[in-house]
Amino acid sequence: MSIPSEYKQDGDEQLQSLNEASMPPKPSDSVEDTMESVISTVLIVGVLVSLVTVVSGAVLMFVNHPEYRNGSGHIAYRSLVSSSFTFPHTPNGIWHSILQGKGAGFILLGLFLLLMTPITRVAISVIGFAFARDHRMALVTAAVLILLGSSFAIGGAI
């Protein structure tokens, strides 16, 4: 004796709906896809903006300081690494250096942007995990973000 196919399908659909009802809600794929897309864009844009800023600063340094090139057209590395050459060491000093059009300020801004790129990625991850209702990962990622921020504060970078 065989079971008619219409009853089989009906039973399979009921079993599938029972399985889906007993499973915990899964974060939507659209939130995960959006989070991955945003993080990817932030990383790419952060690295490219940093690269352009550092290269622009290096060009400005050589344009504003022709003495960094010796007469044969080669770069005089000793003058770049001499103890008399000073880079700004504070955010305020970097800002004033940029406003004065000094290449060193742009180079340091580019390096700062490069450092901030993965930190921004962690901050976006906290928000993404919160929206996906993955509270455990949101807390762990927030702890990582706090550790990163406190290391900057302790190191005197901010």
pLDDT 10s digits, 62-78: 787 766 665 555 665 55
Burial label, 113 (beta-carbon count in 10 A; 0-12, 13-18, 19+): buried
pTM, entire model? 0.67
Residue 56: exposure state from Cβ atoms within 10 A (0-12, 13-18, ≥19): middle
Residues 104-151: pLDDT tens digits?
899 999 999 999 999 999 999 999 899 888 899 999 999 999 999 898
The answer for residues whose C-beta is within 8 angstroms of residue 129's C-beta and 6 or more apart is 135, 137, 138, 141
Residue 109 contacts residue 53 (beta carbons within 8 Å): yes
| Domain segments of the chain as ranges | 30-155
Token reading at 77? 């590395």
Contact 50, 117 (CB under 8 A): yes
Type of residue at 117: T
> Residue 69, SS3?
strand
In tens, the pLDDT along 28-58 reads: 557 778 888 889 999 999 999 999 999 999 8
Terminus-to-terminus CA distance in the chain, angstroms? 79
Residue written as token pair 């060193």? 104
